[in-house]
Structures are given as structure tokens and as C-alpha cells.
Amino acid sequence: MVKQRYSMKVIFTTALMMFVHINIHKAQNIKYARRVVDTLSSSGMHGRGYVLEGAKIAAGYIGVEFQKFGLKTFDGGYFQSFDIETNRFPGQVLLKINKVLMRPGVDYLIEAGSGGGTVHYKTLTLPRVIAEDDRKMQDFLEANRNNVFVINLDSISEERFQYFIKTIRLTENYPMGVIKIQKKKLTWDVAQTALPFPIFEVMDSVLTLPIKEVEFEIENTGVARTESSNVCGFVKGTRYPDSMVVFTAHYDHLGMMGKDTYFPGANDNASGVAMLLNLVQYYSDLRHRPDYTMVFLAFAGEEVGLLGSKYFTENPLFPLKKIRFLVNMDLLGTGEDGLMAVNGVEFPKEYNILDSINNEKHYLVRLQKRPKAANSDQYFFTEAGVKCFFIYTLGGIAAYHDVFDRPETLPLTKFEDIFRLLTEFVGKL
């Protein structure tokens, strides 16, 4: 009796410990992911761009996390540095239309490739008949240099609008500014060029038309240069140390539009970095020593035009042909409608592995595949002949490249399921 009770107790304790262990591990995953997303999306990271060294601060944070988990370095350090040039708005950003103060990021954006300026002026609406006639457009520009033009996309197509801006550039008949009225959601960007005047994209819904008067003050640096860094580390494989499985995620985002407005980039791509760091945590744990050498790469400059991954493929820290497979992760914060694998069409063998795991375990409602695309950091690896996927979640929130991509509204719906899918995928390579 005693003996049996004793062994029952042992069994129970062991089971309890296993249960506790599993739950701690699970809880740690999502809790740690939340902490990473919150940290990277916080105001102290300044939108991880080029105002107030946001991207640099983010890189430093990722480097510290790599070090905490004891990742090895390729070249004596985690950082691979290079220069990035971008157009910036670090200071005053003010826009009043018909004497009403507009809210930056919510009511309007300054187009990324804009310049600055200060003006208090009457406006001039571009008539449709002029917008649609090349000759009339040129005459109009010549005659009305010192004006703020108002262009309503209700009556002038986006294509003609772009042509109008192009004509301004080519003829160098620069106006004081341009107000573009649109119904379409505001979506910001990073530019590497700067016009000598600002273009405002204003939400139709916040305006009382017609626009008669406009006042703005925009501080702009023009194109400036900053040193930026890819962050790179690895865990050595036990069975195939010379063959690599690589996980990548860009950590940069759009930064700030003026001194008070930052773009948090919770989904894009604090979520992907959170997955990257969870994988770092997992594979650096002695209980999960990997067969392949696991490489972790957090890229700079993705939003500027895939600059970090381009630099890395041109200056690799190890021969790219050693890569068994690479998974780029960008936008992993939702998943209600499944998961997309860009390059799933190019690499059917690996896609079938991913798909069969999902069919067996039902982690996501569905997996989808796409052919190759220049839409994130896997692109230059694909072009260099590296087998890879780019995965992103489908469904959920619509915030994208705007001030609403915030940590508190990011659901991380399928985060843990994707984590399991990825680690099982690596196990079957």
C-alpha cells in the first residue's frame, strides 16, 4: 500500500510537473511575444524609423535579446551595418483647412516624398478639364506657381493626379503645396526622394468643401543618411552544423511624421520579430537543440525598399548556398482566415510539408500559396537561388501602414499555432 501510494505520488508529481512545464512554456511564449510587440511598438521606439534614431534603438533591443539567449555571432558581433537614406519629417507638422486643425495620421498624411514649407494661403482647385488635358495642365502650372492646389479624387483619377505631379516635377513649376482629397484609407510609406513642396493626402470625410483657405507648417530634412543594422545570430546545429535553416523578420517601420505622430507597426512587423525571438528562445534552450544550424536575422530598411535583405544577400555573413531553407515572417498578428506562403508555388516539396502538418494538426483554417513576389525580405534570397517562403497571416484587423497598427488592438490570434507549425516544419526538413 505504502509503496503503491508512494509510486502514485511520483506519477502524479511527474505528471503535474509536466503539466506545469507545458503550461509555463506555453504561457511564456505568448507572454514573451506580447512583451516584444509592446516594446517595439512603444513610443520610445519612435516607429522604428529614422527620426530620433528609432530604428537604431530597435536594433539595439533585438541585439540585447539575442545576447540574453546566448546566440552566437558570425563576425564577432550581432550587427551588420550599412547606410540608409530617407526623407524625414522630424519637427513641426501643422495643417489647418478652412481654419480647422487637422489631426496628423488620422485626418491626413504628408506624402512620404514631400518637402516642407510654411504658408497661409488661399487655394486653387484644379478643374477636371485642365487635369485631363496635357497642354492646358502645363499652362495652368506656369500661370499659377504661387498657389496651393486642391485636387479632389472624386473628379480626377489617381492616374491623372500622378501625371499632374510628374508634370510639376518635369517643368519645375513648383506650387506652394498640394492638397489631395481622397476617400481611400490613409496609407503611409518611406521615400528616398523629396519634392520642394508638400503634398497632403486628406480624408474626404473630415472636410467641409469647398476648401477656401489653407495654413500649414511642415519641417522637412530632405533626404538624409543614417547608419542602420541588420541583427544576426545563430544556434549551432548538432547533426548538420554546416547546413542552415534561417528565420528572418524586418524590425524597421515607418518612423515618425512630425514630432508627435509615430507609426507603431505592431503587426508590421513587431509581430514577426516577436515570432523570431520566440524561435530564438526555443532553439537556444538545451532541450530543443536543433539538427540544423538555426540562423536568426532581423532586417533593417525593409519599408524603404528591402534594403537590409538586399545588403545581406550582397554581403552574406556565410555562403548562401548553405541555406537548407529560409522562412521570412512579416505581418503575423492575425490569422482568422489562415496563413499565406509566398513562394509556395516555387517550392512545392516544402509547401507540402507545411500543408501536411497543418492538415494533421489543424493549426490554421487554411494555408494558401502564391508565386514569388517582391513584397518582403525573401525576395532577394529567392533571386539568389535560396529556397524560401514568406509567410503572413490572413484576416483580422485592417490597420496597415497607418497610426492604427497598434499593439493593444493586435489579436495575435494564431501566434502560438504558427509557432508550432514552424518548429514542426523545421523538424521535418
Closest approach, Cβ 164 to Zn ion, in A, equals 30
Q: Rg for the chain (alpha carbons), in Å? A: 25
CB of 394 to Zn ion, least distance (A): 15
**Residue 119 and residue 214 in contact, taking contact as beta carbons nearer than 8 Å:** yes
Task: Please list every residue from 132 through 151 that binds Zn ion, using CB under 5 A.
Answer: none
Residue with cell 512587423: 269
Q: How far apart are CA 144 and CA 355, in angstroms?
A: 60
Before 411, cis peptide (omega within 30)?
no
334 is a contact residue toward Zn ion (CB under 5 A): no
Residue 330 CB, shortest distance to Zn ion, in Å, is 4
The residue (of 131 and 327) whose beta carbon lies closer to Zn ion is 327
Least Å distance, CB 21 to Zn ion, is: 34
One-letter identity of residue 32? Y
Kindly state the smallest distance separating residue 380's Cβ from Zn ion, in Å.
15
Q: Which three cell numbers stand for residue 193?
A: 526622394
Q: How far is the CB of 376 from Zn ion (least distance, A)?
A: 6
- The three grid cell numbers given for residue 25, joined into one nine-digit string: 512554456
Q: How far apart are CA 36 and CA 50, in angstroms?
A: 20
Q: Cell numbers at residue 48, please? A: 522604428
Q: Which residues on adjacent β-strands are paired with residue 244?
A: 293, 323
Q: Is 269 or 313 the residue whose CB approaches Zn ion more closely? A: 269
Amino acid at 191: A
Q: Which is nearer to Zn ion, 269 or 281 (CB)?
A: 269
CB of 360 to Zn ion, least distance (A): 30
Sequence-distant (6+) residues with CB within 8 A of 58 are 40, 45, 48, 251, 252
Q: Which is nearer to Zn ion, 160 or 401 (CB)?
A: 401
SS3 content of the chain, % helix, strand, coil (to 5): 40, 25, 35
Measured distance CA(394)–CA(360) in Å, rounded: 20
Task: Identify which range of 132-140, 254-262, 328-336, 345-353 contacts Zn ion by CB under 5 A.
Answer: 328-336
Mark the segment that binds Zn ion (CB under 5 A) among 97-105, 330-338, 340-348, 350-358: 330-338
Among the candidate windows 29-37, 325-333, 396-404, 414-422, which touches Zn ion by CB under 5 A?
325-333
Q: Is 330 in the site for Zn ion (CB under 5 A)?
A: yes
Residue placing its CB nearer to Zn ion in the complex, 111 or 268: 268
Q: Is 402 in the site for Zn ion (CB under 5 A)?
A: no
Residues 54-113 that bind Zn ion (CB under 5 A): none
From the list 250, 375, 356, the residue with the least C-alpha distance to 301 is: 250
**Rounded Cα distance, 252 and 86, in Å:** 13
- Shortest distance (Å) from residue 269 CB to Zn ion: 4
Interface stretch with Zn ion, choices 139-147, 221-229, 322-330, 395-403 (CB under 5 A)? 322-330
Decide whether 107 or 268 has the Cβ nearer to Zn ion. 268
Q: How far is the CB of 331 from Zn ion (least distance, A)?
A: 6
Nearer to Zn ion, 252 or 350 (CB): 252
- Closer Cβ to Zn ion, 65 or 268, answer by number: 268
Within 232-271, the residues that bind Zn ion by CB under 5 A are 268-269
Residue number, nearest CB to Zn ion: 268
Return the residue matching grid coordinates 525576395.
379
Q: Are 334 and 394 in contact (CB under 8 A)?
A: yes
| Distance in Å, CB of 32 to Zn ion, minimum | 21
- Judged by CB, which is closer to Zn ion: 161, or 389? 389
Pairing between strand 108-110 and 117-125?
Answer: unpaired
| Cβ neighbours around 6 below 10 Å, total | 10
Among the residue ranges 104-112, 188-196, 290-298, 327-335, the one whose residues contact Zn ion (CB under 5 A) = 327-335
Residue 185 C-beta-side C-alpha neighbours within 13 Å: 8
| Residue 190 grid cell | 518611406
Site size for Zn ion (CB under 5 A): 3
User: Which burial class, exposed, middle or buried, applies to 34 when counting CB atoms under 10 A from its CB (0-12, 13-18, 19+)?
Assistant: middle
Provide the minimum distance between the beta carbon of 254 and Zn ion in the complex, in angstroms, as a whole number. Answer: 10
* Window 266-295: contact mask with Zn ion (x via CB under 5 A): --xx--------------------------
CB atoms within 10 A of CB 116: 22
Residue 156 or 254 having the CB closest to Zn ion: 254
Compare residues 107 and 330 and give the one whose CB is closer to Zn ion.
330
CA pair distance 255, 264, nearest whole angstrom:
8
- Could you list the residues that contact Zn ion (CB under 5 A)? 268-269, 330
